[in-house]
Amino acid sequence: MRTFLVASSKGGAGKTTLATNLAAHFALDGKRTVLVDADRQHSASRWSEKRAGMATAVLPVDGSRKGWQKAIPADTQVVVVDAAAGDMAEELEEFLERADAVLVPVNPSMIDLEATVGFLNSLAKHSRVRKGKLPVALVGNRLKPWTSASQQAMEQLKAWPYPLVAQLRDTQAYVLMVALGKSVFDYRSEQIRGHQEDWAPLLKWLKKA
C-alpha cells in the first residue's frame, strides 16, 4: 500500500483538486484506491460519493475521526490523503508517519508563498523529512503561465530546497470536474490532454518517491 499526503497550511491552495485528481488517476490505472478526507469541509468525500457509481470509484474515508485507519480495506493499493487546511506538521503527525511522499500545492501569490514557507519549515523539523526518509515536493497550482506573477512565483519555488514537480494551469475545468466526481484523467479531448501533460512530471516523481 502506498500513501500520498496532500497538505498545505494555506486554505484555497488546491489540496482537494490535487488529491481528487490523483485518486482518480490511480483508480483509472486499476489500483484499489482510498481517499482519506481529513479536511473539515469534506469536499473530497462529496467528490467520491459522486463517483461511487463509476467502475473507477474511489472509497472515501473520514480522516477527521479517530481510528480512520481501521476503515481502510486490507487490499487497498493506494491511499491519497487530503489534509485539513491550516494544519502544520505537528497536527499531521499520524499522516506523516504513514506517508510515502508529501505534495504541497502552492498558488502564485505572495500570501501563498509566505504561508508555504512557514509550513515547509514545520515539515523540515519532522524526523522522517529531516532524515530524508519522507520526500516532499511542490506543485504550482492555478497558474497563468503568460503572466509575470506566475512566472516569478515559479522561479522562486525552483530556488526552494524541495523539487517543483508540476505546474498546473488555472482552468475552470477543474471546478466543473470536481462537481461531477470526475478528473482530468477521465477525458480524452485534445484540450484536456494538455492539462494531463501538466501532471506527467508529478506522476513520474511519485513513481520514484
> If you average pLDDT over residues 175-179, what whole number do you get?
85
In terms of DSSP bridges, do strands 164-169 and 136-143 run parallel, antiparallel, or are they unpaired?
parallel
Give percent of the chain with pLDDT exceeding 70: 100
Domains and CATH numbers, the chain: 2-202 (3.40.50.300)
**Do residues 106 and 112 lie in contact, with contact meaning Cβ atoms separated by under 8 Å?**
yes
**Which pLDDT score is estimated for 170?**
87
Q: pTM for this one?
A: 0.92
> If you average pLDDT over residues 16-42, what whole number do you get?
95
Q: Is residue 190 pLDDT above 80, yes or no?
A: no
Q: Is residue 145 pLDDT above 80, yes or no?
A: no
Q: Is residue 76 pLDDT above 90, yes or no?
A: yes
**Which pLDDT score is estimated for 83?**
94
Cell numbers linked to 116: 508555504
Q: What is the mean pLDDT of the chain?
A: 90
H or E element that contains 12: none
First to last CA, the chain: 14
**Which pLDDT score is estimated for 153?**
83
Give percent of the chain with pLDDT exceeding 90: 58
Candidates 118, 154, 120; CA nearest to 137 is 120
Candidates 161, 169, 157; CA nearest to 197 is 169
Q: Is residue 178 pLDDT above 80, yes or no?
A: yes
Q: Is residue 128 pLDDT above 90, yes or no?
A: yes
Q: Which residue has the higher pLDDT, 55 or 194?
A: 55
Strands (E), the chain: 2-6, 33-37, 59-62, 78-82, 101-106, 136-143, 164-169
Task: Report CA Rg, the chain.
Answer: 16
> If you average pLDDT over residues 117-138, what whole number do you get?
92
Model confidence band, residue 188 (pLDDT cutoffs 50, 70, 90): confident
Model confidence band, residue 209 (pLDDT cutoffs 50, 70, 90): confident
Q: Is residue 103 pLDDT above 90, yes or no?
A: yes
